[in-house]
Amino acid sequence: MLSKKIPYEQQIFVCTNDRQGAGQSCGDHQGEAVFKELRRIAKDRGLHPRIRVAQAKCLGQCSLGVNVMVYPEGAWYSNIGLDDVAVLAEKYLL
């Protein structure tokens, strides 16, 4: 086993899980698009991978999607849409 310090200053997890209609999920609300846009902004700003935008495949709050959590802040956001991405970017992708 290898153990080391977390190699990122910050991680933003965006749920992209899509249950394909078998239940509510972040995929019903453009989770994938939210993820891609946040990651694009991080890359365009030269922040990736120091600040890592990663996909999560379910954060356990499926009816509230799109869900986003941010470490080390311990922040949680629900009902995120594409129109919220700019607000998140200005808060975390600096």
**Of the candidates 10, 12, 17, 30, which one interacts with ligand FES according to CB under 6 A?**
17
DSSP letter (8 states) at residue 60: S
Cβ proximity of 29 and 78 under 8 Å? no
The one-letter amino acid code at 7 reads P
Backbone angles phi, psi at 59, to 5 degrees: -110, 10
Q: Which amino acid is at 92?
A: Y
- Nearest distance from C-beta of residue 44 to ligand FES, angstroms: 25
Interaction pattern, residues 52-81, with ligand FES; x per rule: CB under 6 A: ------xxxxx--x-x--------------
Q: Which of 13, 25, 70, 92 binds ligand FES (CB under 6 A)?
A: 25
